[in-house]
Structure 1
């Protein structure tokens, strides 16, 4: 299964946008350009908890409620192997195929579409999402709905990774899922019995503390001043084994150290929160296609940890399907086989998408190429120069003529050679204006306007 295309119409700051996708998608652009809105479009389509809220007037582009909101996702199913039954059963394509049943048509078995449409009801002040799916746009059928659930929810599970995730709150909220009874062993049962016996002794000892027995006597005398009865007030400790999970807290133990340390530091807490989130999601939703929506993970992370996260995302492949928004070049240092999506123009958002694969001639210099590209794709205009002499020359000129040129969305990039092709190809597809200057080229490259600073 592979995501191929996303179409959004009349939703928030998207009038109409069509974006190519893959299973690994990185979304970037200026602040308030619509990155979060794009994630919300995916959530409305595939996340029941968001979809059930419906749409309000402000969700419609420029409040235009005369037209419906439309969100469409195209999926490629050509990875299925019809002759290999075991492979078919174990694939995500098989899961979708078995769930959609008659919604697939023979005319286009390799393509499947999921569509959401919502007309605004002025009486109800609400836009109700209606889901449909099928092999072609002309042959969509409504997705079976059961109360607040639909058949789509049997296939996909959206896991939203909040940039402001808090370890303590997240750990407490998910303790029962993390420490589920289905992983309990016979040794655990024996230990729990020993703990229960110890807790009985603990409760008895607590109740026998002199400060507690003294208060008991005082309360008994105070009660009898109101009503003479043959009784005694007792204060009893009620610590129980059922609540022992409530007192668990994660700590860090450095190898070779006998001391446990609190998980202080925002960066470390965030990484541990990500690890817990991933572990719980893979446990809880193992029978579904899990799609991670990761928003600005670089927040609170040191540059070195961002580079480490890049390896997790693009080399170790901890997330099979993800959409990630970022402002960090470091998060992209290890990118490969990734769809890069640049969102521009805040009011009438447009999108440019490019599937990035490290060229074979750069396989041994992947990181060098990626670092250069990752730093430059966040800008609107890039000047490519051959080597250090050109870089320092133009850098000095720009510092004199336009000292704020980077703040204005312009970037000067030293390529260290004359192979500009991978840069030019990516910039064209992402809608980034670029210019080339070499030591033997004092004029603009043919067909390229050199007015870089305009």
Structure 2
């Protein structure tokens, strides 16, 4: 399945969002427009269903509802997230899940959130199979927990639970991957940025792990020619490592572990692993960082080929500032979301709905030529004219 439609109300930068999504999505916009926050709305539901998570955890982990609720919302106090799920070619989604919550507590009581609506619509039933709250069955305590996160209550829509739990997010910070001392602090915890990346590799069964590493090796031979082979191993205290054999004047080459890899090499390995591992939606935060421009140019078509390597299509949602990433005529305007910030918050438009962009693409120019200039800061060219001293 993929996320076919995303509807948000009062979420961070976004007072209102209602957009259709393709199986490949490029999110483009100025700095601080909310690209990461848009991805975080999807991660939020993943946090709700993950082991050790839940609604209260997901909210608290983001600093409480005051950090989630849009500053542009004014009188609106609730936050709403709705996602429609289905196969890429479905005209009608298979599932619709909606969660609405607001602040509760304060003073002598713990600051938490309470559910004001949780609903599940099923295509098979052509109706809602869940619609909360139910006055006869609910009280203030039960409304602190979603039915989605509870195995005893989500049986009728377990497929939604499984989908959200398998969503992957990747934004590797190379310095954290290199920090061996942080491994035991992050072990068994979700950490999209550092040592937990290697822990995720370690728990994959050996056969699959070797197959993925073979594929990664094939790419590395082209992108980083001095790397002859990449292996995964654990040291004598159980800390996982990546080990590469570099071409060297010695006959057997020279071995290096991840603490000696370049930033670009680590991020490329992380990107490749994220695309290979799993089958549900993957969220990629600016995958172009630290990569050579010629590698970046190849990413859209490379990602597209990996999306369809099995019998099902995997959704990939990417935030990017990269001209090279979008300088590809194979990217359609329907795949690009443009973030448009204003004093009233950020709006989102599919590029195909914006005449200014769509006409440029239809004239034969690439999405990069149509979008990067339009989404850049209006007066940024004046920066060189500033007299700071």
Scaled to the shorter chain, the TM-score interval is 0.5 to 0.7
Aligned counterpart, 2:231: none
Aligned counterpart, 1:18: 18
1: CA distance, partners of 2:19 / 2:245: 42
Aligned counterpart, 1:42: 42
- The answer to whether the 8 A contact 1:163-1:299 is kept is no
After TM superposition, give the deviation of residue 61 of structure 1 in Å.
1.6
The structure-2 alpha-carbon separation of the partners of 1:115 and 1:249, relative to structure 1 and needing over 3 Å to count, comes to same
After TM superposition, give the deviation of residue 314 of structure 1 in Å.
2.9
Aligned counterpart, 2:335: 339
2: CA distance, partners of 1:122 / 1:5: 32
- Structure having the higher helix fraction is 1
The structure-2 alpha-carbon separation of the partners of 1:254 and 1:325, relative to structure 1 and needing over 3 Å to count, comes to same
The structure-2 alpha-carbon separation of the partners of 1:250 and 1:346, relative to structure 1 and needing over 3 Å to count, comes to farther
- The answer to whether the 8 A contact 2:172-2:194 is kept is no
The structure-2 alpha-carbon separation of the partners of 1:53 and 1:379, relative to structure 1 and needing over 3 Å to count, comes to same
The structure-2 alpha-carbon separation of the partners of 1:148 and 1:340, relative to structure 1 and needing over 3 Å to count, comes to farther
After TM superposition, give the deviation of residue 118 of structure 1 in Å.
0.8
Partner SS for 1:32? coil
Q: How many residues align?
A: 287
Partner SS for 2:77? coil
1:260 aligns with 2:254: yes
After TM superposition, give the deviation of residue 12 of structure 1 in Å.
1.4
2: CA distance, partners of 1:132 / 1:329: 40
Please, what TM-score do these two structures have when normalized by structure 1? 0.53
- The answer to whether the 8 A contact 1:57-1:125 is kept is no
2: CA distance, partners of 1:6 / 1:377: 22
2: CA distance, partners of 1:258 / 1:56: 56
- The answer to whether the 8 A contact 1:10-1:16 is kept is yes
The structure-2 alpha-carbon separation of the partners of 1:294 and 1:119, relative to structure 1 and needing over 3 Å to count, comes to same
* Alignment partner of 1:178 out of 201, 209, 215: 201
The structure-2 alpha-carbon separation of the partners of 1:331 and 1:44, relative to structure 1 and needing over 3 Å to count, comes to same
**Ranges in structure 1 where 5+ consecutive residues have no aligned partner:** 81-107, 185-240, 283-288, 357-365, 383-403, 409-454
1:139 aligns with 2:98: no
After TM superposition, give the deviation of residue 322 of structure 1 in Å.
1.6
**Ranges in structure 2 where 5+ consecutive residues have no aligned partner:** 132-146, 180-192, 208-233, 354-360, 383-389
Partner SS for 1:407? helix
- The answer to whether the 8 A contact 2:2-2:314 is kept is no
Aligned counterpart, 1:126: 112
- The answer to whether the 8 A contact 1:5-1:18 is kept is yes
1:168 aligns with 2:178: yes
The structure-2 alpha-carbon separation of the partners of 1:250 and 1:38, relative to structure 1 and needing over 3 Å to count, comes to same
- Structure having the higher strand fraction is 2
- The answer to whether the 8 A contact 1:175-1:245 is kept is no
- The answer to whether the 8 A contact 1:310-1:330 is kept is no
- The answer to whether the 8 A contact 1:65-1:120 is kept is no
1:250 aligns with 2:247: no
2: CA distance, partners of 1:308 / 1:164: 22
Partner SS for 1:377? helix
- The answer to whether the 8 A contact 1:69-1:117 is kept is yes
1:58 aligns with 2:48: no
The root-mean-square deviation of aligned C-alpha atoms, in Å, is: 4.0
1:274 aligns with 2:274: no
After superposition, give the CA deviation of every residue in 1:184-208 in whole Å (9 maximum; x if it has no partner).
8xxxxxxxxxxxxxxxxxxxxxxxx
Aligned counterpart, 1:351: 348
2: CA distance, partners of 1:115 / 1:45: 10
* Alignment partner of 2:322 out of 328, 335, 338: 328
2: CA distance, partners of 1:149 / 1:264: 46
1:377 aligns with 2:366: no
2: CA distance, partners of 1:131 / 1:303: 45
- The answer to whether the 8 A contact 1:29-1:342 is kept is yes
Aligned counterpart, 1:414: none
1:196-345 alignment runs, 5 A limit: 243=236, 245-246=238-239, 248-254=241-247, 258-262=252-256, 264-279=261-276, 281-282=277-278, 289-317=279-307, 320-334=314-328, 335-336=330-331, 339-345=335-341
After TM superposition, give the deviation of residue 252 of structure 1 in Å.
3.6
After TM superposition, give the deviation of residue 247 of structure 1 in Å.
6.9
After TM superposition, give the deviation of residue 290 of structure 1 in Å.
2.0
After superposition, give the CA deviation of every residue in 1:419-443 in whole Å (9 maximum; x if it has no partner).
xxxxxxxxxxxxxxxxxxxxxxxxx
2: CA distance, partners of 1:64 / 1:147: 36
